[in-house]
């Protein structure tokens, strides 16, 4: 399981530094979570101003 960032992401980057394992990085038009690195902690969820980050 991993967290995912949906299309409501506005690429603000607010979530990137909240991830303890560095799984969040800029992607094509939105930020993306590396599913292999994500430990499903949920630390990034509350950082997102658009609520784009969800548990998959």
d(C-alpha 17, C-alpha 40), whole Å: 15
Out of 14, 16, 18, 32, the residue judged to bind ligand SF4 by CB under 6 A: 18
Residue 19 binds ligand SF4 (CB under 6 A): yes
Which CB atom, from 10 or from 17, has the smaller least distance to ligand SF4? 17
- C-alpha span between 36 and 14 (Å, rounded): 21
Fill in the DSSP letter of residue 29.
S
Footprint on residues 23-52 left by ligand SF4 (CB under 6 A) = 23-24, 33, 38-44
Q: Report the distance separating Cα 50 and Cα 39, nearest Å.
A: 22
Q: Binding residues for ligand SF4, per CB under 6 A?
A: 3, 18-19, 21, 23-24, 33, 38-44
């Amino acid at each position: 399981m991993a967290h995912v960032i949906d299309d409501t992401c506005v690429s603000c980057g607010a979530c990137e530094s909240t991830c303890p394992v560095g799984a969040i990085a800029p992607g094509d038009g939105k930020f993306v979570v590396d599913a292999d690195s994500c430990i499903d902690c949920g630390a990034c969820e509350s950082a997102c101003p658009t609520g784009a980050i969800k548990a998959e």
